[in-house]
Amino acid sequence: MDFDLTKEQEMIRKEVRKFAQSEILPVAIELDEEERFSAELTQKMGEIGLFGMFVSEKYDGQGMDYLSYIIAVEEVARMDGSQAATVAAGNSLGIGPLYYFGSEAQKKKYLPPLCRGEALWGFGLTEPTAGSDAGGSKTTAVRDGNEWVINGSKIFITNAACEMTLGVTVQAITGTRPNGKPEYTCFIVEPGMKGFKQVAMHGKMMWRSSNTAELYFDDVRVPAENILGNQGDGFHQMLKTLDGGRLSIGAMGLGGAQGAYEMALKYAKKREQFGQPISKFQAVAFKLADCAMEIECARNLLYKACWLRNNNRPFEREAAMGKLYCSELMGRVVNHAVQIHGGYGLMKDYHVERFYRDQKLLDIGEGTSEVQRLVISRYIGC
């Protein structure tokens, strides 16, 4: 087995880490406090190639492998979960469905500006009554001549209500299958379409500088060519999208854990109590040792899942495992990090406080921890 990264992957880690430290970290606390999405910072991330990393150069993508993309998300998350969410959702949930399921005309129209980081795209799956139960969607689309009429709503949709939003992929019920179950189809909806309303959500505990939206569809008419793929393929498309998205959420957990661990280690070496650095006390040293060990385990698990995907091997089980383990790992690490910082860990002047809040979304987004365990249990035959 070869555990070495390629020279290109090592360069990606180095360059993204440098960018995240110099451009993201200095403004992270301010953006979080103001709950402000930064188009300027997002465009800078686009300029260094953080969008469309796995997309062919034909559509202005980077043409890289999936592990390279995951490493980039990891390095952004090492500094800030909000910007990592913008990148992860922009790629896995926004660009991904268009690239893998879109027509050639749709790819040529939408992918280039998305891959250049000039625009963002939303992924409209979750609804007020359909979270873990994605099959509980109530949004509908009815055929009317050469158009489809969409009615319903979506909630907690990343990148879907900001000045950079170019469009949204929306899953809707378009009929009933022979087995009696709903037929789902995905549609492309653009801002400005009559009856389509985008509302930015505020008051979040975490990811406060990423854009999160509620979407409302009131007799929104979209042309028939705005179907993504074929009628009835929506549910399959959404599940395949979430499989890849789990890897990026895992990368956010891994990167966030790495960042919090490094902050705790640095603090423990400087902070003195009873005449010596607190890193010398076994109670603190063992916490840091556990963090280092679990981060190494998480990285091996997540990178293996990416290797399977890169080699066209089944990776869905490992993606669920990676998402679950990395998400919950970050929870354990940031808890230790705050404890090591003591009272300072509770203050907004210290980044670790933000990491503590940002982690919780990872247990919930793109399939809760409970759903991941359900997925894994099915793969092992339970």
Q: The domain that contains 334 carries what CATH number?
A: 1.20.140.10
Is the pLDDT assigned to residue 15 strictly greater than 80?
Answer: yes
**Mean pLDDT for the stretch of residues 10-27:** 98
Confidence of residue 33 (pLDDT cuts 50, 70, 90): very high
The answer to whether residues 241 and 342 belong to one domain is yes
**Domain boundary residue among 120, 147, 178?**
120
**Domain boundary residue among 203, 232, 261?**
232
Look at residues 182, 179, 79 and name the one whose alpha carbon lies nearest to residue 140: 182
The answer to whether residues 114 and 195 belong to one domain is no
Confidence of residue 375 (pLDDT cuts 50, 70, 90): very high
In a domain, 1, yes or no: no
In a domain, 2, yes or no: no
What b/e string do you get for 296-333 counting C-beta neighbours within 10 Å, with b at 16 or more? Answer: eebbebbbbbbbbbeeeeebbbbbbbbbbbbbbbbbbb
Look at residues 129, 77, 69 and name the one whose alpha carbon lies nearest to residue 93: 69
- Mean pLDDT over each residue of the chain, to the nearest integer: 96
- What CATH code is carried by the domain that includes residue 140? 2.40.110.10
As given in the structure block, the two tokens for residue 327 are 């998400």
Conformational region of residue 268, where left means phi above 0, alpha means psi within -120 to 50, and beta covers everything else: alpha
Is the pLDDT assigned to residue 330 strictly greater than 80?
Answer: yes
**Mean pLDDT for the stretch of residues 169-185:** 94
Q: Determine the pLDDT at residue 133.
A: 77
The answer to whether residues 300 and 345 belong to one domain is yes
Q: Determine the pLDDT at residue 180.
A: 87
**Mean pLDDT for the stretch of residues 257-268:** 98
The answer to whether residues 89 and 138 belong to one domain is no
Q: Determine the pLDDT at residue 183.
A: 96
The answer to whether residues 299 and 201 belong to one domain is no
Is the pLDDT assigned to residue 211 strictly greater than 90?
Answer: yes
Model pLDDT for residues 102-147, shown as the tens digit of each residue: 999 999 999 999 999 999 999 999 999 888 777 788 999 999 999 9
**Mean pLDDT for the stretch of residues 65-72:** 97
The answer to whether residues 160 and 134 belong to one domain is yes
In a domain, 211, yes or no: yes
**Mean pLDDT for the stretch of residues 292-320:** 97
Task: Tell me the backbone φ, ψ of residue 2, rounded to 5 degrees.
Answer: -110, 115
Task: Tell me the backbone φ, ψ of residue 190, rounded to 5 degrees.
Answer: -110, 150
What percentage of the chain reaches a pLDDT higher than 90? 93
Boundaries of domain holding 39 = 7-120
Q: Which of 129-138, 187-196, 246-255 is predicted least confidently?
A: 129-138
The answer to whether residues 242 and 367 belong to one domain is yes
Is the pLDDT assigned to residue 363 strictly greater than 90?
Answer: yes
Which DSSP state fits 6? P
Q: Is the dihedral of CA 52, 56, 58, 62 positive or negative?
A: positive
**Mean pLDDT for the stretch of residues 221-250:** 94
- What's at 53, amino acid-wise? M
Model pLDDT for residues 340-356, shown as the tens digit of each residue: 999 999 999 999 999 99
- What CATH code is carried by the domain that includes residue 101? 1.10.540.10
- Which residues are catalytic, by number? 366
The answer to whether residues 357 and 251 belong to one domain is yes
The answer to whether residues 339 and 285 belong to one domain is yes
The answer to whether residues 112 and 154 belong to one domain is no
Q: Determine the pLDDT at residue 2.
A: 84
The answer to whether residues 137 and 240 belong to one domain is no
Helices first, then strands: H and E counts in the chain: 12, 9
Is the pLDDT assigned to residue 70 strictly greater than 90?
Answer: yes
**Mean pLDDT for the stretch of residues 316-333:** 97
- Number of structural domains, the chain? 3
Q: Determine the pLDDT at residue 130.
A: 84
The answer to whether residues 213 and 245 belong to one domain is no
In a domain, 214, yes or no: yes
Confidence of residue 285 (pLDDT cuts 50, 70, 90): very high
In a domain, 16, yes or no: yes
**Domain boundary residue among 66, 91, 120?**
120
